[in-house]
């Protein structure tokens, strides 16, 4: 059956391959199309599975999964056949068919809470409180995950024999961070596209770079030589400014060296500067591990970038991060040299219509002493759980489903999205593809984001201080962090409710 599903996907790819053209400039479109088709076909025709599930599975069951219906998430889970019109949507469609056929199941995906900001907490809490066992699997936001877990909402995935947490289609870093007292209530990795789409990077407009005599090839060399730092980006961007609308003061309509926002793009510095928030004590419970001095120094640099660099324009947060789209429009109109944004904007129509080329770089290091480049992933990252209340005789089968779903996503969806779409269809060449590898390999997440609402919102402290315009960080951090050890201690038993 795997060959049949593979054939379906290959046919869809061939039908839609006309859409695989360079969207970032005058590159060889014929070569790009050929490469994309070849890479996808080679990956999809692999008859083996990376997982260790038994052969000849027939669960003979219906599995109902709740997925976030908000427009930035739903298409990583479900696509109607008539909407499978490109590489990625075709791969999603084929993935679901393959998992159903392989396991002998019917998969029903219910898109819920379509109007909210990427959470399903309303539906989830209502369902579990009512004990109606509506869903077998729930997908939700990392940001709320440990709060849900501490309320007793989820089963411990470490108890499921078919979930192999050593497999690299599960994020090993996420598992490390989400494990508390040897319990694992949520999991993620290559079963979701949001792990890639939500990764933050620095976009470079090559038209603006050329105008200001900034060599993109030298930028690539700086990254490869581990010299791409906050100081370098600050220095390059401060000399880029042009008044386009004739106003007395800089406005959103002008050309800038660096555009960002005052929320998610500020959050990313925790990860890109490798400042951990929570770690684990000797018993596997959470503890606060922030390097105070590094935080204070980093905040000073961030403040200077936002408030004293004449080449910076900082967009204010708007509901559902719509300001990220406004930034993308400005960038596509050649009104920014550097833009801090998530990778999903590469799919936006505005980026496809850019005049000239663009490329991406990893977010800069704190300094050259940093080990490598790290990438913040948006805290709305999709994670998977099995809600408490599901009949226990279904649990092992549901674990088998999650394993097959993640394995098949690695086999079909991830190559179609990362290799064929980001690195070929939307890429300006091999150097940009390499930069994307830095971003993917530097994926960084910390348990602090999972516990944000429990630890006085410490992960959002940098952004709130930047939004306030204050230079102060030390006293604010001290007062907010002081009660955290007691707060964490009071939560320890909450994660052991199934013991």
Say what the pLDDT of residue 404 is: 98
Cα–Cα dist 403/75, whole Å = 20
Q: How is 97-162 classified by DSSP, letter by letter?
A: HHHHHHHTEEEEEEEE-TTSSS--HHHHHHHHHHT----SEEEEEHHHHHHHHHTT-B--GGG-TT
Cα–Cα dist 212/181, whole Å = 54
Say what the pLDDT of residue 21 is: 33
Quote the pTM value.
0.89
Q: What residues have CB less than 8 Å from 349, skipping those under 6 apart? A: none
- Neighbouring CB atoms inside 10 A of 476's CB total 15
Q: How confident is the model at residue 83 (pLDDT cuts 50, 70, 90)?
A: confident
Cα–Cα dist 217/276, whole Å = 32
Of all residues in the chain, what percent are helix, strand and coil, respectively (each to 5)? Answer: 50, 15, 35
Say what the pLDDT of residue 44 is: 33
pLDDT above 70 as % of the chain: 88
Average pLDDT over residues 114-141: 79
Q: Which domains does the chain have, with CATH numbers?
A: 2-196+379-426 (3.40.190.10), 200-376+439-496 (3.40.190.10)
Contact indicator for 113, 123 with CB cutoff of 8 Å: yes
- Neighbouring CB atoms inside 10 A of 417's CB total 24
Say what the pLDDT of residue 25 is: 37
DSSP secondary structure code for residue 416 in this structure:
I
- Reply yes or no on whether the pLDDT at 33 is more than 70: no
Contact indicator for 488, 287 with CB cutoff of 8 Å: yes
Say what the pLDDT of residue 143 is: 93
Report the sign of the C-alpha dihedral through residues 218, 220, 224, 227, in that order. positive
Q: Would you mind telling me the total number of residues written for the chain in this entry?
A: 499
Between residues 212 and 18, which one has the greater pLDDT? 212
Contact indicator for 211, 204 with CB cutoff of 8 Å: no
315: left (phi over 0), alpha (psi -120 to 50) or beta: beta
- Reply yes or no on whether the pLDDT at 424 is more than 50: yes
Cα–Cα dist 103/144, whole Å = 30
452-486 tens-digit pLDDT: 988 999 999 999 999 999 999 999 999 999 999 99
Highest mean pLDDT among 67-81, 123-137, 139-153, 221-235: 221-235
Tokens of 161: 């024999």
Q: How confident is the model at residue 229 (pLDDT cuts 50, 70, 90)?
A: very high
């Amino acid at each position: 059956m795997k060959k049949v599903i593979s054939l379906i996907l290959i046919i869809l790819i061939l039908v839609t391959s006309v859409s695989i053209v360079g969207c970032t400039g005058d590159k060889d479109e014929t070569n790009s199309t050929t490469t994309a088709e070849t890479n996808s076909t080679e990956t999809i025709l692999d008859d083996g599975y990376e997982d260790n599930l038994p052969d000849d599975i027939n669960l003979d069951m219906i599995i109902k999964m709740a997925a976030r219906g908000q427009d930035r998430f739903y298409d990583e889970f479900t696509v109607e056949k008539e909407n499978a019109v490109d590489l990625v949507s075709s791969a999603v469609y084929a993935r679901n068919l393959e998992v159903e056929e392989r396991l002998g199941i019917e998969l029903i995906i219910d898109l819920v809470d379509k109007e909210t900001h990427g959470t399903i907490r309303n539906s989830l809490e209502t369902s579990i409180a009512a004990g109606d066992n509506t869903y077998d699997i729930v997908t939700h936001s990392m940001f709320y995950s440990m709060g849900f877990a501490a309320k007793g909402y989820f089963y411990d995935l470490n108890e499921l024999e078919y979930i192999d947490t050593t497999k690299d289609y599960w994020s090993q870093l996420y598992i490390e961070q989400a494990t508390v007292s040897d319990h694992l209530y949520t999991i993620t990795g290559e079963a979701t596209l949001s792990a890639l789409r939500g990764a933050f990077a620095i976009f470079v407009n090559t038209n603006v770079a050329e105008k200001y005599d900034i060599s993109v090839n030298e930028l690539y060399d700086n990254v490869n030589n581990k010299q791409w730092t906050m100081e370098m980006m600050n220095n390059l961007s401060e000399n880029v400014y042009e008044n386009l609308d004739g106003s007395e003061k800089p406005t959103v309509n002008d050309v800038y060296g660096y555009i960002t926002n005052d929320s998610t793009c500020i959050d990313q510095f925790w990860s890109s500067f490798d400042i951990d928030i929570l770690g684990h004590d000797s018993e596997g419970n959470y503890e606060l591990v922030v390097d105070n001095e590094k935080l204070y120094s980093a905040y000073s640099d961030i403040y200077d970038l936002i408030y004293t660099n004449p080449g910076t324009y900082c967009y204010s947060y708007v509901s559902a991060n719509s300001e990220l789209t406004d930034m993308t429009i400005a960038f596509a109109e050649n009104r920014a040299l550097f833009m801090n944004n998530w990778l999903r904007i590469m799919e936006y129509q505005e980026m496809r219509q850019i005049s000239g080329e663009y490329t991406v770089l990893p977010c800069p290091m704190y300094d050259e002493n940093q080990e490598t480049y790290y990438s913040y992933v948006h805290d709305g990252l999709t994670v998977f759980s099995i809600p408490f209340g599901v009949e226990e005789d279904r649990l092992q089968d549901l674990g088998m489903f999650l394993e097959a779903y993640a394995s098949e996503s690695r086999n079909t969806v991830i190559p179609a999205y990362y290799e064929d779409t980001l690195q070929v269809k939307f890429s300006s060449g091999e150097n940009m593809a390499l930069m994307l590898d830095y971003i993917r390999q530097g994926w960084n997440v910390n348990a602090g984001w999972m516990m944000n609402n429990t630890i006085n919102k410490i992960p959002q402290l940098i952004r709130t201080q930047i939004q306030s315009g204050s230079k102060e960080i030390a006293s604010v951090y001290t007062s907010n962090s002081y009660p955290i050890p007691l707060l964490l201690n009071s939560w320890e038993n909450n994660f052991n409710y199934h013991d």
